[in-house]
Structure 1
Amino acid sequence: MRKTLSLAAVVTAAAALVAVPGVSSAATPKPEVQWVTCPTDVGLPGLECGKLQLPLDYRKPQGRKTEVMITRLASKNPAQRKGILLTNPGGPSEGLTFPAVLKAVGLPQSVLDSYDVIGMDPRGIGYSSPSTCDMTEEQMADGSVPPYANNSAEVRQRAAEVKKIAEQCLKSSSADELPYNTTANIARDMDSVRAALGEKKASFLGYSYGSYLGSVFATLFPKTSDRVVIDSNLPPGGWDVEGGRLMGRGVEDTFPDFAKWAAAHPEYGLGTTPQQVRAKFFDLAARLDEKPSVEGIDGRLFRFLNFTGLYATGDAAFAKLAASWKAFDTGQPQPPQEYPEVPRVQALLAGRLNVMCGDSAWPSSVRTYERNVEIDRLRHPMFGAGAANIQPCAFFPKPVEKQVLPSDRGPRNVLLVQNERDPATPLAGAQSTRRAFGDRAAMITIDQGGHGAYVFGKNTCANDKVTEYLLGGRRPNDTKCAAQTG
């Protein structure tokens, strides 16, 4: 039977959840992990899989449960083991394979020896009681970052599209879980995982959206959070309306790195100065709006592909992006692309929407988004009118719990890691989060571009300082790491 989220249900949930703090293990029955065979697509070498039945609503610990799946990459060195390291890859998205990903990209062996590295599919996503919004393939292809809006009419058209998605979410079979699939409850789930694994404290490593999750975890659980490392940081409010708009600034911050590189590689024909490369961007966007590419890519999608293309930096990444531009410029087919398979896309996007829309109140007036788009099209012309565009959250019920913001009350155990130029989570947002934590936090700022710093970036200064903190617990002071060449 389909479950529609009624106004009465929202009001009831609100009464139960208003101002819910972090819930201590004493307030809920101690959860247990049921160790199970890993699903086929999660069964990577060294990973163990487990399930926990956790409260859907932590105000009613004896009530309805939600199932959360975790993985463990256990330390092979018991003498060196310090505890557990909870991880999150961002998104919000699936995280079961993330411990194996971290190992593959170079998480130091000393860290792997010191911790059992824990992955988790957040509630509502992947194998953890997945959500649905009954989206069509076309709706799922739209993703979770809005398209660039050339004018107010396109904002209104987008509003009609996302209103339908919101209505589908609110009428879906998982609609009654929607008020509880929030970052605050995911943080409570993480503390429940800690308790279930018999640990007094848990350390954390999270990227992108995971930075906000780590902030909430450290805020709600100052006594049980140990060493908290948050990388590629969202502003204090997470992925709210202002956090989303910052992506426009992020593209402007990061693009000069690519423009400088492309100007130094005239074989791509994109210009011989950074200014000419930037002008080529706007030329291509306008031409593709008028006549899409042979693959049907228009100017809006070109802008989005450029945004995601700036996530990685360096010769290989920039050469790939430049080759794509050259194909657009010359009317040739795009170079072959390898896109990672994303299983269970329905649950991924629906779960992501639940978290985004449940964490904070989004403006409900379409005119607000029209105004934001007008402002950001001028302020950040490359992608601002996409980042500021309307989301389905405009048509969701108001959150049932007060938004959790970083607190400066607690131990000095938070370390932010941040590239100076990041297309998705720019430095300005990280600086805001750093200020919100006060003396609880320090930040390592790295003179490099791209999304993801620790182990995903190759800056030895930053990587060594984060590793030293995870191993020894002595948090560095605010530090700037110079660009690393060669």
Structure 2
Amino acid sequence: MKEITKSAALIAAASGIVFGVLTPLSASAADASSALKWGACDGNRLDPRQQCATLKVPMDYARPDGPTVDLALSRIPAEKPSARRGALLLIPGGPGGSSLDDPSDKGQKLPQAVRNTYDLIGYAPRGNAPSTTTSCGLAHRDLALTASRPWPAPDGSIDGNLATARRMASACARNGGELMRHISTVDNARDVDSIRAALGERKLSAWGVSYGTYVGAVYAQLFPGRTDRIVLDSNDNPDPVNPERAWVKITEVGVEDNFPEFAKWASAPGNPYRLADTAGEVRPLFLRLAARLDREPIPWPGANPEELNGNVLRQSMLNSLYDPDDYPALAQLILAAQKGTPLPAPQTPPDSVAQAMTAVGAATICNDAAWPRSTAVYEKGVAKSRAAYPLTAGMPRNALMCAAWPWQPKQPPVRITDRGPSNVLLVQNERDVATPLSGALKMREALGRRAVMVTNDSTGHDAYLDNGTACGDATASRFLATGERPRRDVYCR
């Protein structure tokens, strides 16, 4: 999950039984598969082999005969039919992300042996177009990441954040429709099982990334016998009480883990975007600039908001730490703000895209687990975080719109355990701003004997075939292609 951020969670107990009754394996799975009408996909950048279809699933799995929602699916069939093992579902990050184009995109990074073995399956999770959509109908100003990410005022006050949370939550309740109440990680995991059944597969393999690791873990907990080979890449903390709060809070640690890597890069001799002579100078330089922009914002036409203030700079820093390839963009912004030269063109997504991502993200994280309603809880957390982690200025412990969400969760989060087959491989970078190693180790602990973990001596989010290591990539690819997995956890340099 490159930006939308970390957020999401679920239901059940150690038994893995979710609200309602688990849908049994259908004897007519092949009939379900034949009901999918595969045809051409919309989009100019897609691999011509990619096909698309639509699957209807219950809006509320507790009412299987009630209203339905559409899920948009995609696939590229296994390239060597004689070697085909089954389907590999590409579970996107977010929440709010989609993998509908991934069979044509990231799926083509997979080695030939994996592409020979699996149909590559993508999907747009409920709430995301072209699946059945929802929207909070937010005002333009509330689509800014500095609104959905609750950065405190320069003096540490959170009054403005609480007002924003109430305004945004009210808009979601007013405009989101019934679907808004049925977007959660449990719903997503059940949709995954509906996809499996519609494909005619008795077992499903998956590659989940970022938030997709939590969806994958929950699916494996609820439907352990329906899993084949599961790769979880850039792992969330499956906190059994408040998963999303744990993810947001841990951002303060993720930034502390990763900013030194940016500082080393930004102080390297010969770097055209060099900010300082030594790495140790970059952090205080950044903090001074953020404080100056708190007092004296710089106009930034076309951005949202249309100024570069301290919190916009902090959010830009957080965005750029996802991937070392984005370091130059952050350095250019810092240099322009320092020197008073024109700022780079803002990279602001269209409002339509931001509406969908914000709505699905908010619904998931707010429906998954109960958030505190007490102002004092957030005030105390923000003050403590600002003192210990000045780079993130208290944002990770502040009040998201979930603090004012109008509905309570339908069920508690799913507790991830070691019950089920030992068929999970975790892939994790040591330095990951969005899903830090400390949280990934909680996923490893929860899965116990079911999993083996590959830790990469590498920096950035999205490890497998992106920001990881050759050793880690080879380990995950071998597991998907052959089922061979290390006997114990390994460290890859």
SS in 2 for 1:412: coil
Identity of aligned residues (%): 36
| Distance (whole Å) between structure 1 residues aligned to residue 285 and residue 318 of structure 2 | 15
Cα deviation, residue 251, structure 1? 0.6
| Distance (whole Å) between structure 2 residues aligned to residue 357 and residue 65 of structure 1 | 22
1:392 to 392, 401, 407: 401
Change (3 A) 1:371 1:41: farther
Match of 1:10 in 2: none
| Distance (whole Å) between structure 1 residues aligned to residue 143 and residue 27 of structure 2 | 39
Give 2:453's aligned amino acid: M
Cα deviation, residue 430, structure 1? 0.3
| Distance (whole Å) between structure 1 residues aligned to residue 20 and residue 188 of structure 2 | 13
2:464 corresponds to 1:454: yes
Match of 1:96 in 2: 100
State which drifts further: 371-380 or 340-349.
340-349
2:386 corresponds to 1:377: yes
SS in 2 for 1:455: helix
2:78 corresponds to 1:75: yes
Describe the superposition over 1:185-240 as per-residue Cα deviations: whole angstroms up to 9, x where unpaired: 11111111111111111111111111111111111110001111111111013851
State which drifts further: 407-416 or 461-470.
407-416
| Distance (whole Å) between structure 1 residues aligned to residue 308 and residue 54 of structure 2 | 42
| Distance (whole Å) between structure 2 residues aligned to residue 344 and residue 319 of structure 1 | 25
1:2-41 equivalent positions in 2, closer than 5 A: 19-20=19-20, 22-26=22-26, 31=32, 32-40=35-43
| Distance (whole Å) between structure 2 residues aligned to residue 340 and residue 77 of structure 1 | 39
Cα deviation, residue 142, structure 1? 3.4
Match of 1:123 in 2: 126
2:140 corresponds to 1:137: yes
Give 1:446's aligned amino acid: N
Cα deviation, residue 71, structure 1? 0.7
2:314 corresponds to 1:303: yes
CA RMSD of aligned residues (A): 2.4
2:426 corresponds to 1:416: yes
Change (3 A) 1:336 1:134: closer
Change (3 A) 1:342 1:241: same
Change (3 A) 1:434 1:260: same
Change (3 A) 1:153 1:377: closer
SS in 2 for 1:70: strand
Does the aligned pair in 2 maintain the 1:36–1:51 contact within 8 Å?
no
Give 1:83's aligned amino acid: G
Pairs aligned (count)? 462
| Distance (whole Å) between structure 2 residues aligned to residue 333 and residue 110 of structure 1 | 49
2:277 corresponds to 1:264: no
Match of 1:157 in 2: 160
Match of 1:241 in 2: 245
1:104-253 equivalent positions in 2, closer than 5 A: 104=108, 106-142=109-145, 145-150=148-153, 154-172=157-175, 174-237=176-239, 240-253=244-257
Match of 2:292 in 1: 287
Cα deviation, residue 115, structure 1? 0.8
Unaligned runs of 5+ residues in structure 2 are 1-16, 301-306
Give 1:118's aligned amino acid: I
1:355 to 337, 355, 364: 364
Does the aligned pair in 2 maintain the 1:125–1:352 contact within 8 Å?
no
Describe the superposition over 1:417-461 as per-residue Cα deviations: whole angstroms up to 9, x where unpaired: 111111111111100111011111111111111111001125110
Change (3 A) 1:391 1:27: farther
Match of 1:4 in 2: none
SS in 1 for 2:82: coil
Cα deviation, residue 59, structure 1? 2.2
| Distance (whole Å) between structure 2 residues aligned to residue 163 and residue 403 of structure 1 | 24
Change (3 A) 1:144 1:413: farther
Match of 1:58 in 2: 61
Change (3 A) 1:160 1:463: same
Unaligned runs of 5+ residues in structure 1 are 1-16
Does the aligned pair in 2 maintain the 1:80–1:114 contact within 8 Å?
yes
SS in 2 for 1:223: helix
| Distance (whole Å) between structure 2 residues aligned to residue 274 and residue 26 of structure 1 | 59
Does the aligned pair in 1 maintain the 2:429–2:468 contact within 8 Å?
no
With structure 2 as the length reference, what TM-score do the two structures score? 0.88
| Distance (whole Å) between structure 2 residues aligned to residue 338 and residue 132 of structure 1 | 22
Give 1:423's aligned amino acid: V
Give 1:386's aligned amino acid: M
Does the aligned pair in 2 maintain the 1:42–1:96 contact within 8 Å?
no
Cα deviation, residue 356, structure 1? 1.1
Give 1:335's aligned amino acid: P
| Distance (whole Å) between structure 1 residues aligned to residue 223 and residue 440 of structure 2 | 21
SS in 1 for 2:225: coil
State which drifts further: 418-427 or 334-343.
334-343
